[in-house]
Amino acid sequence: MSLKKILSGTGVAIVTPFNEKEEVDFDALGGLLKYIVDGGVEYIVVLGTTGEAPVLSREEKIEIIHYTYSKVNGKVPVVVGVGGNNTHALMKDLKEFPLEKATAVLSACPYYSKPSQEGIIMHYEALADHSPRPLILYNIPGRTGKNMTADTTIRLSRHPNIQGMKESSGDFMQIMQVMKHVPEDFLVVSGDDAVTVPLIASGLDGVISVAANAYPRKFSSMIRNALSGDFKTATAINFSFLDAYDMMFAENNPAGIKAFLSEMKLINNICRLPLVPVSASLQERIGRFVKDFQDK
């Protein structure tokens, strides 16, 4: 079965909670997973940038993967993030990480190195050749410093083990070119919460969301309404989230969403350096929003 049939809808790029010692807070992670899955989302994405994967040790990543499988317990699919700019190290991770229960692997475009488009293609083809699970590409030039062009994505979509794309370029024309030319069963999802509804109107299959960490029920309802063609309802819900989107990304992701979740008493408001919690003034604004906004 294609990823498009399994992963259309709302995926959640789950945060990694930490305790006061900056250790992974597995109790909080378990509670958050239950809250999100019970909220009706379609799948979980673990160890993405929102999960602060760059500052987690290899041992922590493996433990988090196992823990996520055990807590989700097959209720929804799990996608595992395996990304970076060291192609050969990632090939080793794909061989050694516990990916048997993963539905797919999400891998961001190599950051900082700024490879050519040919380099990006060869990087992803090497990963796809070594991945035991289907690969989802991830284009987010605002973080990586390099845009994957539509032509690059279209060429990679022909690889049998590359079955999806998370697009966060913000370039509607580029995204529509991708959707027009990739195979019919190729999954294309948004990485930008705020523009997902209009992109679904152009043919997008859903989203891997940050906001759905805090508001899984309302956010996933919005996406299902959009996918079913009820854009009046979906747009109204999206408009209700606009202030939240602004606050979530005003200073940093995941510091913003962690501030929301801490106000909801779901996790501690702790990040690992180089990330720090949001400013006191923004935290106060988030607190007021959380008090008034209901996830219904």
**Given 43, 69, 124, 138, which residue is catalytic?**
138
**Catalytic site includes residue 218:** no
DSSP string, the chain: --HHHHH-EEEEE----B-TTS-B-HHHHHHHHHHHHHTT-SEEEESSGGGTGGGS-HHHHHHHHHHHHHHHTTSS-EEEE---S-HHHHHHHHHHS--TT-SEEEEEPPPSS---HHHHHHHHHHHHHH-SS-EEEEE-HHHHS-PPPHHHHHHHTTSTTEEEEEE-S--HHHHHHHHHHS-TT-EEEES-GGGHHHHHHTT--EEEESGGGT-HHHHHHHHHHHHTT-HHHHHHHHHHHHHHHHHHHSS-TTHHHHHHHHHTTSS-S---TT--PPPHHHHHHHHHHHHH----
Q: Is 232 exposed, middle or buried (0-12, 13-18, 19+ CB in 10 A)?
A: exposed
Q: Which of 71, 166, 218, 258 is catalytic?
A: 166
For residue 214, what are the contacts with CB-CB under 8 A and spacing of at least 6? 244, 257, 260, 261, 264, 266, 290, 295
CA gap 285, 78 in Å, rounded: 33
CA dist 127 and 135 (Å) reads 8
Whether 138 is catalytic is yes
Catalytic residues, which ones?
Answer: 138, 166
